[in-house]
Amino acid sequence: MPELGRHALQDLIERERQLQKELAGAIAAPFDAIFDLLEQSGATMHSQAEALESAGRALQEAATLMKSQAELFERTVGTLRKPGELAKAAAGLERHARGGRGESRR
C-alpha cells in the first residue's frame, strides 16, 4: 500500500474515532446533567432539613419561654390579688371565684 493511501486511511480511522467520541459525549451529556441535578436536589434537601431542625429548636425555645412567661404572669396576678382577697375576707365578703389555668386556656 502506498504511503499516501495508508496515511489517508489512518486519517479516516482517526476522524471516525473522533466522531464516535463526540457522538458518545453528546449521548451521555443529558444523563450527566440529570445526575448533576439529582445531586443538587439531595444537597438542597439536606439544607432544608437542617433549616427545619433549626426552626424546630427555635420553636421549642419559644414555647419554653412562653411557658415561663405564663407562669410568671399567673404568679404576678396571684400576688396582686392577695391584698384584695384579704380585705374581702376582713369585710366578710365572699372570695372571687377563679377561672384557673384549665378554663383560661380555651
Nearest alpha carbon to residue 100 among 92, 88, 81, 68:
81
Enter the pTM of the model.
0.53
Across the chain, which has 106 residues, the per-10-residue mean pLDDT values are 78 94 94 94 96 98 98 96 89 76 48
Contact predicate 94/84, CB 8 Å: no
8 A C-beta contact, residue 95 and residue 88: yes
Locate the domains of the chain by residue range: 3-93
